[in-house]
Amino acid sequence: MRKHRLRLVAAVAAVLAAAGAGTASPAQAHDRPSTLADLAERHGRYFGSATDNPELTDTAYTAVLGSEFDMITPGNGMKWYATEPEPGVFDWSAGDEIADLARRNRQRLRAHTLVWHNQLPSWLTDREWTADELRAVLKRHILTEVRHYRGKVYSWDVVNEAFNEDGTYRETIWYKTLGPGYIADALRWAHQADPHAKLYLNDYNIEAVGPKSDAYYRLAQDLRAQGVPLHGIGLQAHLALQYGYPATLEDNLRRFSRLGLDTALTEVDVRMLLPADAEKLAEQAHWYRDLTAACLAVRRCVGITVWDWTDKYSWIPAFFPGEGAALPWDEEFRPKPAYAAMRQALGEG
């Protein structure tokens, strides 16, 4: 293992030295004979990236986004604050821009997200609701948004981050007012609005088998037994080198598959304590390779999405000061060792 690690560190150092010499430009990365999406397609998988509206004016960025990936996810443009900023007043401009981009690039769209406790408009959070009132608001929002994008999306993250780390329900506006049944209701309404979209529950820190992923497993069992239209579980896979790799990921994916559910790695990034160095980048590459291999090993793991593809537009530094370098391309759009490692896992050549 140590010899393997030393060889990997040496290889990474060589890659970084070449990149510093200017030998790994965005154009050269682009000139490869196959993309991540091409390689994933050979296995019946997709390979996607999140994106967000402000960066779409960066033409060098959109060139890679439009060619390397076959699935894109709007990072913010379909969340509640953006789509229903006033009660019953809907604004589709941000979401439509990304949906139109996907259509032009012949990419599919993972729509994100209908029901979450964050990024809600103040009109929703600044007052008390009765259960009947809030249920009507939630139903209207889901039906209206899903109908607007009907036929344009591959899947919806219907409910996002419903559980605490210990497997208890998160005390959100939805849970406190409506009880746990809001999840089944949301799935039913989304299915009513677009019967062809795949419907997911999505969360972080559920990659490994543990209390939080166990809670999703039990919920999924219950929902399936009730005939609720749940099609998949999204494992966000926001990982950090300092906390260790989720070694039971593949086992976890398999048990959800045995329930008849698809799984997907939906928001992948692997952050580190800065500054980055050759050893950290080698370890990160190893994790990206293992994540990719785990998905390929489980038939119903349908694809992987990185949470944007370049460190230039990563959310990590703003939320985790002193951490970053989490994505497969650096801030100059040069591919990092993680990119080559994913290609290796996908069977390049």
Burial of 90 (0-12, 13-18, 19+ CB in 10 A): middle
DSSP-derived secondary structure for 202-258? EESS-SSSSHHHHHHHHHHHHHHHTT----EEEE--EEEGGG---TTHHHHHHHHHH
| 267 has catalytic annotation | yes
Let me know: does 16 contact 334? Beta carbons within 8 Å.
no
Burial of 237 (0-12, 13-18, 19+ CB in 10 A): buried
| 332 has catalytic annotation | no
Helices assigned H by DSSP within the chain = 2-20, 26-30, 36-41, 59-68, 80-83, 93-104, 122-125, 131-148, 173-178, 181-193, 211-225, 249-258, 278-297, 316-319, 337-345
Q: Report which DSSP code applies to 313.
A: G
Where do we find the tokens 């996907």?
A: 102
User: At CA 230, angle to CA 226 and CA 233, rounded to 5?
Assistant: 130
* 130 CB-near residues (< 8 Å, 6+ apart): 177
Amino acid at 321: P
Burial of 96 (0-12, 13-18, 19+ CB in 10 A): middle
d(CA 72, CA 155): 11
Give the pairing of strands 155-160 and 198-203.
parallel
Catalytic residue (one of 84, 207, 267, 283) = 267
Helices 249-258 and 211-225: crossing angle in degrees, nearest 10, is 10
Helices 211-225 and 181-193: crossing angle in degrees, nearest 10, is 60
Catalytic residue (one of 161, 165, 279, 283) = 161
Residues with catalytic function: 161, 267
